């Protein structure tokens, strides 16, 4: 191997608050070779983003300070570089892209101007030259009509195109190193695959070296050459991708690999219920018949000509008691609208929903009362779904009280619920702010269980969590399902999770169910090309199961 392009040695970052400084990055040493993709893996709070901010000289607070070590770029120590020197390093030698392109692009500036800005500043180009260069970069990152799209604003693009624009802005001055901080976490799997493909392609064409921060080992396995695993500010393990994935040395790495949802097919949830012959005698708990939900958009008093958008088009579904059904699809596929329709939160345009034999459209008051007593929802963002002013005990107590639990029994029930979701009883006195995302989501589940629901709808309830936490929550659902005979509608864009938890799967696309069946069948033999594409887009943890069509060999040229 040649000398590393970027070399981080014994880097220490401390937080200087009141009292003794707290160490957030603890003597981390890692190298990035030329043309290499380094995967930086770890949970949120492990310091992987902070490490890259430190390299860029962009620590988010004045109280964070680099207290030791060096960052060598072509033999120059960036830690000691002056602010003026760092301006030249950022954008020109190291580019950076972020998790959320929507919040990182300037909403009031044309997308092309945000790219041209750097070219003008760093290369002293004229306005016209910069525009031409920016149009060329937009073309390279996959904008179909860059000359025209230069003048569009970020909100006029989809999430995937926004991430492409971010990449274009980061690469506008031809940096040699790209730091990508969770670049695909906010995107759908199919879009994620496209963005990863673009990164690999750009690496080839521009000779980039990439540090890819992610919590998804599947992405690492598919794209990176080497892996560095971080935990609590320390680098616990690093090495070539295959070596780390096959023979992890550290317990934590083993746990990360173990939590990855795309593991062998042995995990697939089996239909734990009785066979279909017996089940047909039961009455379905939830029956949906040719459901349509349409929204009016645009138009006003003075401007007729409103448009109708169909979010759900002709969905039919039967849910038996004890079923666990996964609903998968990309954003915009109508899966959340379907869930909201089931709970009576959006008006139905046509079709029927019957819960336990009561039709929502025909007997709305009775059905809604019944629904709200006997169903519960678990939300995507666990922290924002909890009232920050209430303690966990108060949150649960409130639900119990509304549902008529005698006051004397409430404390006991709260303890039971906390036991069920494996939270210590002392959590009753804590507030959401002082809890982690996984703990908040456990409270969210406990709150759902408080009503003794016959149906739980979980809308993307693990999407915001780290993989290890995801696995714990999914395991919790599986356990509760077995113990309490819960009926579960599990909405997710992550197919692997659905496969491990649900025996039946519905695939939604543009408001329609395009495929449905047993999880095992669908994942093994998808009938529709869309389902197949969705499954193929999931990055597998096995580096030999290629994510992308074998168009180019993604292995780096021998160094």
Stretch that binds another protein, among 103-111, 258-266, 319-327, 356-364 (CB under 8 A): 103-111
Q: Say whether residue 63 binds another protein (CB under 8 A).
A: no
Q: Say whether residue 58 binds another protein (CB under 8 A).
A: yes
Q: Is the Cβ of residue 3 or residue 109 nearer to another protein in the bound state?
A: 109
DSSP 58-99: --SSTTEEEEEEEEEETTEEGGG--HHHHHHHBTTTEEEE-S
- Residue in 518, 508, 514, 539 with CA at minimum distance from that of residue 528: 514
Enumerate residues 6+ apart whose C-beta is below 8 A from 394: none
**Nearest approach, Cβ of residue 19 and another protein (Å):** 20
Q: Is the Cβ of residue 119 or residue 492 nearer to another protein in the bound state?
A: 119
Q: Say whether residue 90 binds another protein (CB under 8 A).
A: yes
Stretch that binds another protein, among 52-60, 280-288, 344-352, 362-370 (CB under 8 A): 52-60
From CA 461, how far away is CA 473, in angstroms rounded? 9
DSSP 415-456: HHHHHHTT--GGGGG--GGGS-HHHHHHHHHHHHHTT--SEE
- Residue in 541, 469, 521, 542 with CA at minimum distance from that of residue 532: 521
From CA 482, how far away is CA 535, in angstroms rounded? 27
From CA 143, how far away is CA 244, in angstroms rounded? 36
The one among 70, 121, 201, 475 contacting another protein by CB under 8 A: 121
State both tokens at 443. 């409270």
- Residue in 240, 293, 219, 315 with CA at minimum distance from that of residue 542: 219
Residues of this chain, 138-197, that bind another protein according to CB under 8 A:
153, 155, 166, 169-170, 172-173
Q: Say whether residue 122 binds another protein (CB under 8 A).
A: yes
Stretch that binds another protein, among 83-91, 376-384, 424-432, 496-504 (CB under 8 A): 83-91
Q: Say whether residue 123 binds another protein (CB under 8 A).
A: no
Q: Say whether residue 309 binds another protein (CB under 8 A).
A: no
Size of the site for another protein (CB under 8 A): 34
**Nearest approach, Cβ of residue 497 and another protein (Å):** 28
Stretch that binds another protein, among 53-61, 125-133, 347-355, 474-482 (CB under 8 A): 53-61
Q: Say whether residue 88 binds another protein (CB under 8 A).
A: yes
From CA 470, how far away is CA 236, in angstroms rounded? 21
Q: Is the Cβ of residue 298 or residue 357 nearer to another protein in the bound state?
A: 298
**Nearest approach, Cβ of residue 53 and another protein (Å):** 9
Q: Say whether residue 304 binds another protein (CB under 8 A).
A: no
Burial 514-533 (b: 16+ CB within 10 A, else e): bbbbbbbebbeebeeebbee
- Residue in 360, 280, 358, 288 with CA at minimum distance from that of residue 321: 280
Residue pair 33/65 in contact (Cβ under 8 Å)? The answer is no
Residue pair 253/287 in contact (Cβ under 8 Å)? The answer is no
Stretch that binds another protein, among 80-88, 447-455, 482-490, 541-549 (CB under 8 A): 80-88
> For the chain, what is the largest distance between any 2 Cα atoms, rounded to a whole number of angstroms?
77
The one among 205, 270, 303, 307 contacting another protein by CB under 8 A: 303
Q: Say whether residue 104 binds another protein (CB under 8 A).
A: yes
From CA 36, how far away is CA 53, in angstroms rounded? 19
Q: Say whether residue 103 binds another protein (CB under 8 A).
A: yes
The one among 32, 41, 56, 325 contacting another protein by CB under 8 A: 56
Q: Say whether residue 107 binds another protein (CB under 8 A).
A: yes
**Nearest approach, Cβ of residue 141 and another protein (Å):** 15
Annotate 158-180 with three-state secondary structure: CHHHHHHHHHHHHCCCCCCEEEE
- Residue in 2, 9, 38 with CA at minimum distance from that of residue 177: 38
Stretch that binds another protein, among 55-63, 72-80, 372-380, 466-474 (CB under 8 A): 55-63
Q: What's the chain's Rg over C-alpha atoms?
A: 26
Q: Say whether residue 66 binds another protein (CB under 8 A).
A: no
Q: Say whether residue 13 binds another protein (CB under 8 A).
A: no
**Nearest approach, Cβ of residue 148 and another protein (Å):** 15
The one among 26, 34, 67, 117 contacting another protein by CB under 8 A: 117
**Nearest approach, Cβ of residue 107 and another protein (Å):** 6
Q: Which residues are 358's β-sheet partners?
A: 355
**Nearest approach, Cβ of residue 180 and another protein (Å):** 11
From CA 494, how far away is CA 539, in angstroms rounded? 11
Q: Say whether residue 71 binds another protein (CB under 8 A).
A: no
Stretch that binds another protein, among 116-124, 343-351, 424-432, 529-537 (CB under 8 A): 116-124
State both tokens at 190. 């199919």
Q: Say whether residue 80 binds another protein (CB under 8 A).
A: no
Chain contacts with another protein (rule: CB under 8 A): 56, 58, 60, 86-92, 95-96, 98, 100, 103-109, 117-118, 121-122, 153, 155, 166, 169-170, 172-173, 302-303
């Amino acid at each position: 191997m040649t000398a590393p392009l970027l070399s981080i040695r014994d880097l220490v970052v401390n937080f200087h608050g009141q009292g003794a400084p707290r160490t957030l990055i603890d003597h981390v040493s890692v190298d990035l070779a030329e043309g290499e993709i380094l995967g930086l893996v770890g949970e949120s709070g492990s310091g992987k983003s902070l490490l890259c901010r430190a390299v860029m000289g962009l620590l988010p607070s004045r109280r964070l300070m680099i207290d030791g070590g060096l960052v060598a770029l072509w033999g120059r120590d960036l830690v000691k570089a002056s602010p003026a020197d760092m301006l030249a390093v950022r954008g020109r030698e190291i580019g950076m892209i972020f998790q959320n392109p929507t919040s990182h692009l300037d909403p009031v500036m044309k997308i092309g101007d945000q790219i041209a800005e750097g070219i003008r500043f760093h290369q002293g180009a004229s306005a016209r030259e910069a525009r031409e260069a920016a149009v060329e970069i937009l073309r390279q990152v996959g904008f179909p009509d860059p000359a025209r799209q230069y003048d569009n604003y970020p909100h006029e693009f989809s999430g995937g195109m926004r991430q492409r624009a971010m990449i274009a802005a980061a690469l506008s001055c031809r940096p040699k190193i790209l730091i990508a901080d969770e670049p695909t976490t906010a995107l759908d799997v199919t879009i994620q695959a496209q963005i990863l493909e673009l990164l690999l392609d750009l690496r080839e064409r521009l000779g980039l070296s990439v540090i890819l921060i992610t919590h998804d080992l599947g992405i690492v396995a598919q794209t990176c050459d080497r892996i560095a695993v971080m935990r609590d500010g320390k680098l616990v393990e690093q090495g070539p991708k295959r070596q780390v994935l096959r023979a992890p040395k550290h317990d934590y790495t083993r746990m990360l690999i173990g939590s990855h949802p795309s593991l062998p097919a042995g995990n697939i949830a089996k239909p734990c219920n009785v066979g279909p012959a017996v089940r047909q005698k039961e009455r379905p708990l939830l029956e949906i018949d040719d459901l349509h939900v349409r929204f009016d958009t645009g138009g006003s008093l003075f401007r007729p000509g409103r448009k109708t958008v169909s979010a759900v088009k002709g969905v039919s579904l039967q849910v038996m008691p004890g079923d666990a059904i996964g609903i998968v699809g990309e954003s915009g596929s109508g899966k959340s609208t379907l869930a909201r329709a089931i709970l009576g939160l959006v008006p139905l345009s046509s079709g029927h929903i019957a819960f336990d034999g009561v039709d929502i459209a025909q007997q709305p008051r009775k059905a809604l009362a019944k629904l709200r007593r006997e169903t519960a929802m678990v939300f995507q963002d666990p922290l924002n779904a909890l009232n920050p002013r209430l303690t966990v005990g108060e949150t649960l107590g409130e639900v119990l009280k509304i549902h008529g639990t005698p006051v004397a029994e409430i404390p006991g029930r709260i303890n039971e619920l906390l036991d069920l979701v494996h939270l210590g009883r002392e959590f009753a006195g804590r507030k959401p702010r002082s809890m982690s995302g996984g703990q908040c989501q456990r409270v969210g589940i406990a709150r759902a269980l408080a009503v003794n629901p016959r149906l739980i709808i979980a809308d993307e309830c693990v999407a915001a969590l780290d993989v290890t936490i995801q696995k714990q929550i999914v395991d919790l659902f599986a356990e509760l399902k077995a113990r309490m005979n819960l009926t579960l509608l599990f909405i997710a864009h992550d197919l692997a999770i659905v496969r491990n938890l649900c025996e039946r799967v519905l695939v939604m696309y543009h408001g329609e169910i395009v495929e449905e069946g047993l999880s095992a069948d669908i994942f093994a033999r998808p009938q529709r090309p869309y389902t197949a594409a969705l499954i193929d887009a999931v990055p597998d943890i096995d580096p030999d199961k290629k994510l992308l069509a074998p168009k180019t060999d993604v292995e780096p040229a021998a160094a």
